[in-house]
Structure 1
Amino acid sequence: MTIFAYCRVSTLDQETAIQEEAIRKSYPQAKIRHEKKSGASTQGREVLLLLLDVIAEGDKLVVWKLDRLARNLHDLTTIVKALEDKGASLEILDQRIDTGTASGRAFLQMLGVFAEFETNLRKERQAAGIAKAKSEGRYTGRQPAAQYKVTKAIRLVEAGYSKQKAASEAGIGVATLYRRLKEIADDK
């Protein structure tokens, strides 16, 4: 049996030292992998996806806390199912959950529901705060890209650059460039 450990933080200025220390106490021999990516979904989390790919029957994936692995029930159940399909298990140290047992699987599912509920409450509070700030005239939303950057991108397209390259060179999103080009075409 191989013990794979997964440590994740959301931003580049955060560190995984606390997670790694907790995992090493329980599993000194664990193969620890680190990732600095948002946990909002599993998309783009290459280290996690690689671990799920290489884990084999009898292996175990260990994480310090549930929110280091998944922030919504769908992702959590997808990960657990992928592990189960391979004959592997998941252990969450902080909550002492091991999906190798029936009670561990049931408790994990309950925690997943509460984690998703907490995320939804946070989104509702954020939306309420934004609505209040808008009504008071204190919130203007995301500021549009600086007009000079858009103009630069348009000139680059006219000079023969691809839209992707022009947007990149100007420092704007390609969607912004497409939107502005469409507005210009609609005005003609």
Structure 2
Amino acid sequence: MSENLVERLDPERSVMLIGYARTSTLEQDAGLEAQVRDLTALGCEKLFREQVSSLAPRKQLESALEFARQGDTLVVTKLDRLARSVTHLGKIIEALEAKGVALRIVNLGVDTATPTGRLMLNVLGGVAQFEREMMLERQREGIAKAKAEGAYKGRKPTARAKAEEIKALAAEGLSMGAIATKLGIGKGSVHRALSPAKVPAA
């Protein structure tokens, strides 16, 4: 039986602070060790750590959530070490609340074990969502303005949209390989655009 399972099944285990540390695969090991050092100094008795990208599955975080039990507190040094998005944060909080586990984010001074901490976290989540919506709105406005000014080009033309160019170049005697290189498309796309017309071999 693993040490983790023994501790989880031990009815005498007192509530504890559980630390979670993460850095991306591009960051130095020192960043991970610094988090571990800070979490240990805060009194975390159990530590889960991993070095994964922000989008990759976080197995150690899942283990930390599984290990935690009612009355425990999950501790992270910074919010971006824990969640990859507002939606992801919401799912983590939901999982913790279902088990009666609090969340502490050190650099923000947030502790959901307190009413003030829960309020602060809700506000932070709302602000993050608002910022994203504003960013998308600015993006849409920028595209609309560019279209009105005739400057919006949209997506690059596909091979299908370049069919006339392909046929014109083929008529000039260019090979499929030369046409593909000139237009920046695949040789197969050139072949499909010209089929069943005959063109010079590559």
Q: TM-score range by the shorter chain?
A: 0.5 to 0.7
TM-score scaled to structure 2, two decimals?
0.54
Q: What corresponds to 1:160 in structure 2?
A: none
1:92 CA displacement: 0.8
The count of residues paired between Structure 1 and Structure 2 equals 146
CA distance in 1, matches of 2:117, 2:27: 30
CA distance in 2, matches of 1:64, 1:149: 52
The answer to whether the 8 A contact 2:38-2:77 is kept is no
The answer to whether the 8 A contact 1:89-1:100 is kept is yes
CA distance in 2, matches of 1:143, 1:75: 36
User: In terms of Rg, which structure is larger?
Assistant: 2
Q: What corresponds to 1:45 in structure 2?
A: 57
Secondary structure in 1 aligned to 2:107? Answer: coil
1:149 CA displacement: 7.1
1:20-169 equivalence runs, <5 A: 21-22=34-35, 24-28=37-41, 30-38=47-55, 45-47=57-59, 48-68=61-81, 69-72=83-86, 74-134=87-147, 135-141=149-155, 144=158, 147-148=185-186, 151=189
The answer to whether the 8 A contact 1:2-1:60 is kept is yes
Q: Unpaired segments of 5 or more residues in structure 2? A: 1-15, 160-183, 193-202
TM-score scaled to structure 1, two decimals?
0.58
Aligned-residue Cα RMSD (Å) equals 3.6
Q: Unpaired segments of 5 or more residues in structure 1? A: 39-43, 156-188
CA distance in 2, matches of 1:143, 1:56: 55
1:33 CA displacement: 2.6
AA aligned to 2:134 is L
1:97 CA displacement: 0.5
Q: Deviations over 1:39-97 (max 9, x none)?
A: xxxxx53334443334333443223333442532x433321121122232211111111
